[in-house]
Amino acid sequence: MEFVNENKCLLCGLENPVGLKLRIDYRDGKSRTVFSYQEYFQGYTGVVHGGMVGAVLDEMCVYAAASLGYVTVTGELTVRYKKPVKVETEYIAEGYVEEVKGKLVLAGARLVDGEGEIYAYAKAKLVIVKKGAL
C-alpha cells in the first residue's frame, strides 16, 4: 500500500480551508515541519487546544513511518505537555521512528520553538495497514 496525501487532511491537506496545511519533509525515518497554529485552534484565549498539539505530534509520527514505506494508523498515542503552546507563534514539529516490531512501528515526536525548547512530546504505537484496508 502506498502512502498518499489526498490534500483534504485537517493537518497536512493543502486544499482543506480550515486545516493547518502543514508542509512536511519526511525521509530516512524522520519528519519535520515549521508552522504556526491559527487562532481558531485555541482552547483558552491565546493557547492552542491540547488536542491539536497531540494531533500534530501524531501526524509527525505517521509521516516518519511513511518515510520508510509504511502506511500506518495510530494504535496508541501518549502525549506529554510541558508548556502552553501559543497561537500565531512559529514552532517546529519533528517525528522519528524508533523501532519496527512485527506489525507495529514505534515512533516519537516533539514540538519545539526556534530555540529548541520543548513544548510537548509524544510516543506512538502505529499499526501497519494491510493493502486495501483503508
How many domains in the chain?
Answer: 1
Looking at the domain assignment, is residue 5 inside a domain?
no
CATH number at residue 55: 3.10.129.10
pLDDT of residue 4: 65
Looking at the domain assignment, is residue 51 inside a domain?
yes
Tens of pLDDT, residues 8-41: 899 999 999 999 999 999 999 999 999 999 999 9
Looking at the domain assignment, is residue 123 inside a domain?
yes
> Model pTM?
0.94
Looking at the domain assignment, is residue 1 inside a domain?
no
Cα–Cα dist 29/23, whole Å: 17
Looking at the domain assignment, is residue 115 inside a domain?
yes
Host domain of residue 79: 25-128
Looking at the domain assignment, is residue 9 inside a domain?
no
Count of other CB atoms within 10 angstroms of residue 132: 6
Would you state the cell numbers that stand for residue 51, as one nine-digit string?
Answer: 488536542
Tell whether the torsion through CA atoms of 134, 51, 78 and 80 is positive or negative. positive
